[in-house]
Amino acid sequence: MSLFISDAVASAGPASAQGPIPMIAMLAVFGLIFYFMILRPQQKRAKEHKNLMASIGKGDEVLTTGGLLGRVTKVSDTGYIVIALNDTTEVTIKRDFVAAVLPKGTMKAL
């Protein structure tokens, strides 16, 4: 009897060898889970954000990712917009940094 390996483990036969089919099936299942849980929702959010960016127009009230709330006064073809934060302050930002287009009158309600 060996000191480190028990007789029962040492006398066991070789492990049963399974083919590659179960491993491939398991990888396929994990791939589908990854697609439906992570990739597909991310692609949907990206598409919605792209549509939001395309729909921004003059006079829209927007909220930026930095937390600024303002009204769009100018839309540039180069991807920038000018936002009026109040009567005297205007900020130029990249169109991609708009987080949401708010309903009309939101700024007056605050």
Q: Do residues 84 and 73 touch, judged by C-beta distance below 8 A?
A: yes
Would you state the structure tokens that stand for residue 84, as one six-digit string? 């009026």
**Which of 13-22, 36-45, 99-108 shows the lowest per-residue confidence on average (mean pLDDT)?**
13-22
Burial 63-93 (b: 16+ CB within 10 A, else e): ebeeebebbbeeeeeeeebbbeeeeeeeeeb
pLDDT at residue 109 greater than cutoff 70: yes
Question: What H or E segment, with its residue span, contains residue 60?
Answer: none
Express each pLDDT in 36-53 by its tens digit: 999 999 999 999 988 988
Express each pLDDT in 62-88 by its tens digit: 999 999 999 999 999 888 999 999 999
pLDDT at residue 103 greater than cutoff 60: yes
- Picking from 43, 67, 45, 55, the residue whose alpha carbon sits closest to that of residue 95 is 55
Tell me which of 10 and 2 has the higher pLDDT: 2
